[in-house]
Amino acid sequence: MSEIDVAQLEQVLLDGAVLVDVREPGEYAQAHVPGARLIPMGQLGSRLPELDRSRPVHLICASGNRSGAMRQLLTANGFEAVNVEGGTKAWISSGRPVESGLS
């Protein structure tokens, strides 16, 4: 599965899925999916060793474009990567909870 929607994301997060937010720190600080780990798009390639290759990595950005590109990067490097369709905007629009700040 290369892409999921926010309802599917909510379910996999309940099951302990890994979610990486590839937006910039300022965007992430404003609002992000609870539990999302910030690794900005420009840093992802050099930070691949921080990710567990044995588990799918779910990727999110604002709308799904940047995370879609980063899904290709991860896939090319041997990861099972899944893009979140509609991104954080879709998550917020659906009324799901968000966190703010950089922690």
Q: What's the CATH code of the domain at 27?
A: 3.40.250.10
pLDDT at 39: 98
pLDDT at 78: 96
Active site residues: 61
Q: Which domain holds residue 47?
A: 3-93
pLDDT at 14: 96
Q: Are 99 and 54 in contact (CB under 8 A)?
A: no
pLDDT at 10: 97
103 pLDDT more than 90 = no
Q: What is the pLDDT of residues 49-102, one digit of tens each?
A: 999 999 999 999 999 999 999 999 999 999 999 999 999 999 999 999 999 999
Two tokens at 57?
């990595």
Angstrom distance (rounded) from CA 60 to CA 32: 9
68-88 per-residue burial string, b: 16 or more CB within 10 A, e: under 16: bebbebbeeeebebbbbbbbb
Would residue 34 count as lying in a domain?
yes
Would residue 99 count as lying in a domain?
no
Overall number of domains in the chain: 1
Q: What is the pLDDT of residues 8-19, one digit of tens each?
A: 999 999 999 999
